[in-house]
Amino acid sequence: MNAQEEIDYSDIAPYDDSIFQQKMATLVKDPGFLHAVNYTMPKEDVPALVEDLLKIDNMYDFQHQVMFPFLEMLAKTTTSGISLGGVKHYNPALNYVFITNHRDIVLDASFLNLAFMRRGMPTSEVAIGNNLLVFDWINDLVRLNKSFIVKRNTGLREGLMAAKKLSSYIHHAILDKHESVWIAQREGRAKDSSDHTQESLIKMLAMAGEGNFMDRVKEINLMPVSISYEYDPNDYLKAKEFLMKRRDPDFKKSQRDDLFSMETGLLHNKGKVHFQLTPRINQKIDQLGIFGDNNTAARYVGCLVDQAIHRSYEIFPINYIAFDMLHNCERFRSKYSKEQLEETKEYFESQLDKTEIPDLRPDERDFMLEMMLTMYANPLKNKLKTLLGGME
């Protein structure tokens, strides 16, 4: 029996099937949940959905009978297709921690699980920050849908205890429950789309487990997964936030802003979406050897994750165009047509028009365009650096 099994994870773990129907019965009566459902589907279809939900008594059926068709509908209406590469690196006999860059608050893990379900592969449990669980019904919904909770915004002592418990739960999920896990490489999205793993995340993952630091990381089979969205529906909101922070360094987004970002990412066009699985990093960890201190070890593990993600980006015409526009050059001119260039320029202008900032000066609009170009150019820049061994 592993030590992890002696810990009570009931405050953070996905809901057990034994209480599934009880939690679902509470959820479908919640006014907030019903409001959200009414927003996403015709009102007359809601009673039938509620009836169907009350018949489901386990998470597997919920994911495959309800979430799968919902995500397929979302993929059909808001993307130009979702693709999955690198499946040869996936061994069904193993369970993994899929560690990914972070593009969309809700859909990164959801669309990856959709890609798995399409292939008959098991879905992963999903790490979700409690800062997003602004209502009780959202907490219930995500935990009915195979998510576990990352406690944030705690005091120092509570934060350390929460990190130890989270690490223990992730090792327990892999080793005892035989479930794979999804986690983003950093807390929150990289607003400029330059993706880098937080050392603190790697240290958290290595808190639990057996052996030295590297042994504990290897125990959970870290598999970097590279996520590429052709379009980011939130690009103009991120550009606006950059400007607000330039105007006022103390600017903070409101909870309403966060909810609007989630809604925008969920419901608007993302173009093509690609997930690229890469080999688990255990072999490369063995090549690194043992480090004298955990900070250095965590930094090197983070670099391995970053290199795998950067190398595996899918690069779209918009990324090449943004690079050339940003640097006022034609380095990648062969990668896009004149029509694509004009369409992309129009796209950037139409996104900037959505910012609706009063008293916006021309130089501030130029600044937001520069930020938007940077977001789309950075995946290409990071891929070039990794492929060319640190050179651009």
Per-residue pLDDT of the chain (392 residues; tens, 9 = 90+): 444 448 999 999 999 999 999 999 999 999 999 998 988 788 999 999 999 999 999 999 999 999 999 999 999 999 999 999 999 999 999 999 999 999 998 899 999 999 999 999 999 999 999 988 889 999 999 999 999 999 988 888 999 999 999 999 999 999 999 999 999 999 888 899 999 999 999 999 999 999 999 999 999 999 999 999 999 999 999 999 999 999 999 999 888 888 899 889 999 999 999 999 999 999 999 999 888 899 999 999 999 999 999 999 999 999 999 999 999 999 999 999 999 999 999 999 999 999 999 899 999 999 999 999 999 999 999 999 999 875 44
Q: By the 8 A CB rule, do 162 and 201 touch? A: no
Looking at residue 100, its pLDDT comes to 98
CA 86-297-191 angle, 5° bins: 60
Which of 146, 159, 170 has its CA nearest to residue 95? Answer: 170
* 3 state DSSP class of 330: coil
pLDDT at position 59 is 97
Burial-class residue 371 by CB neighbours within 10 Å (0-12, 13-18, 19+): buried
List Cβ neighbours of 67 (8 Å cut-off, separation of 6 or more).
Answer: 110, 113, 145
**Got the DSSP string for 98-153?**
EEE----TTHHHHHHHHHHHHTTPPP-EEEEEGGG--SHHHHHHHHHTTEEEE--S
| Contacts made by residues 303-306, CB under 8 angstroms, sequence distance 24+ | 303/197, 304/224, 305/99, 305/185, 305/197, 305/202, 305/222, 305/224, 305/281, 306/185, 306/195, 306/196, 306/197, 306/382, 306/386
- Grouping H, G, I as helix, E, B as strand and the rest as coil, residue 357 is coil
pTM: 0.95
How would you classify the pairing of strands 97-100 and 125-129?
unpaired
Which CATH superfamily, name and number, covers 3-12+82-231+271-311?
Answer: Glycerol-3-phosphate (1)-acyltransferase (3.40.1130.10)
Q: Residue 147: what pLDDT?
A: 98
How is the chain split into domains, by residue range? 3-12+82-231+271-311, 233-251+263-268+316-392
